[in-house]
Amino acid sequence: MPPRIDQEKCITCGQCIFICGRDVFAWRAAENRISPTRPQLCADCFVCSNSCPEKAIRIHRVKVKPS
């Protein structure tokens, strides 16, 4: 699932933009915030959430039911 940013915690440092190798995040100047603008490219690698100094990024995994 795509990453979600808690805007209350985010300090707009840009670490997620620079660390993400799949270009999931972008700076939205009009809103003065960072957003996952290409969430479909997320590989659930947790690099962004692990590198966020404020722990503002969460990766929501989908639970798969056993068949």
CA distances from 19 to 3, 40, 57, 60 (A): 14, 17, 13, 19
pLDDT class of 66 with cuts at 50, 70, 90: confident
Mean pLDDT of the chain, nearest integer? 92
Question: In the numeric block, which tokens belong to residue 26?
Answer: 């972008």
Dihedral of CA 42/58/52/25: which sign?
positive
Rounded mean pLDDT, 7-30: 96
**Single pTM value for the model:** 0.82
